[in-house]
Copies of this chain bind each other. A is one copy, B any other.
């Protein structure tokens, strides 16, 4: 049975899920031995440890070894990767792409599905690799780095598959000519890929943010060069290795999928982005570099997820404690290092009405602070939620942020058992006035949040939506018992291109973005120009070449 046939039922389900956007998931998020195999956890850890301190062989052309990853939990990984000359990588990718471009839609999609399936089987290995590059806690690294990322890959494959199939493969075109013979043309169309697709990974969610582009480009026939962040190479190296194995088995040149690793002190990203051989660029990272990529790429086809400033507007609530707990979790999860994490909490100076009676501005700020303290009171639970801080610059940013407002809750280290050297920080919560937009009006990546005193909820909505338009935003959240307020927020955030969540309490958080349902990033504000995943994300990765043959008379 072909790879395509083997995975076809799953693909059909995925296509259907993209259409309905009801809850669906292909890859179980529960890190259970009953699902992944009794020894999967131990095997994954062992496989990870076996990769440390030695070269990682991808079987790619390449020379000197690069790779200086250091776990945010303290230890250097010591894994190295063969670096390659940019021209050599591009040429190998170009050459490999020729055969890949000729393959049928089904053959390519089948290979992609098989790759994702095999990645799924390595979810525990991936969890370790993601944990010790991004700093995510183990469970999050398993879920977001494993099955959730795999779901995002499958979503992109499903979109690409459906989009290619919207182009009919052939038709008999018969144009009547009154009483004369009709004009008859046999028309066929073929999918033509763009060429080389460059995917630039980030350090916090290398697989989750990288997979949609990798698999959308592969499925549509492009060869892919994955440029990992120098701080998070291993998860994408494992991905590329699995991909190359499957490609080889299916009879393709494995250079259809290549890794282009580098060290931070000798970066190659700019050389790749500006290379005339590159036809598509996908970028996840900072707005500063994102802007450079958009302005300097050698191609017009650039998809970005940059960053934004996410807001919570608090107007009123039926569940004050539930609201505070929910916000506390959103601020704490992965120490605020999610692109979907809130930074700004807008509260009217007159306070709010709640099920526990009126709460002043300070009551609300205090309520959130108390909820954070309670959530992180148990050190083991704190470590499991916060994880570690990926980048030293983020830790430094937290230190410097204290002076930006009145400290409502201070950030503190959050020790992780077994990792004495882990770089950690719990949320810093600051109270500021709306006019202090020098403080809250900039992105403060990491566990830094502001409770902002506004004139009114209307003022809060205006400020948050304006900030989204100006600086970008991926998520917004509103708490209100008043439908008119909710409608007003819905209008304002829709116009600003921000995904809005309303009255979240309990086990669902504004940070979470579900594959097959939530459109991640709108592309309609500076937080990014692309969405994971919609038609626009896939439709331009290939073109259509028409052929019409006149029927012999």
Q: Which single member of B168, B171, B497 contacts A545 (CB below 8 Å)?
A: B497
Taking CB atoms and an 8 Å cut-off, the chain A residues in 187-229 that contact chain B are 187, 189-190, 192, 194
Minimum CB–CB distance from A93 to chain B (whole Å) comes to 16
Residue of A302, A522, A529, A540 ringed by the most chain B CB atoms within 10 A? A540
Answer yes or no: A536 CB below 8 A from chain B CBs.
yes
Q: Which single member of B23, B175, B302, B499 contacts A175 (CB below 8 Å)?
A: B23
Cβ–Cβ contact A502 & B543, under 8 A: no
Which B residues touch A507, using CB under 8 A?
A: 177, 183
Cβ–Cβ contact A23 & B174, under 8 A: yes
Minimum CB–CB distance from A462 to chain B (whole Å) comes to 16
- One digit per residue, 1 when the CB lies within 8 angstroms of any chain B CB and 0 when it does not, for chain A 315-345 equals 0001000000000000000000000000000
Question: Interface residues of A: mostly helix, strand, loop or mixed?
Answer: mixed
In the assembly, what is the distance between CA of A543 and CA of B486, in Å? 21
Taking CB atoms and an 8 Å cut-off, the chain A residues in 505-553 that contact chain B are 505-508, 514, 517-519, 522-524, 529, 531, 534-536, 539-540, 543-550, 552-553
Which B residues touch A300, using CB under 8 A?
A: 294, 300, 302, 529
Q: Which single member of B19, B21, B168, B177 contacts A173 (CB below 8 Å)?
A: B21
| Contact segment of A107-115, A260-268, A488-496 | A488-496
Task: Report how many copies the assembly holds.
Answer: 2
Cβ–Cβ contact B503 & A549, under 8 A: yes
Cβ–Cβ contact B173 & A517, under 8 A: yes
Cβ–Cβ contact A539 & B548, under 8 A: no
In the assembly, what is the distance between CA of A398 and CA of B303, in Å? 43
The residue of chain B having its C-beta at the shortest distance from the C-beta of A175 within the complex is B23
Cβ–Cβ contact B529 & A544, under 8 A: no
Minimum CB–CB distance from A409 to chain B (whole Å) comes to 25
The residue of chain B having its C-beta at the shortest distance from the C-beta of A496 within the complex is B545
Answer yes or no: A75 CB below 8 A from chain B CBs.
no
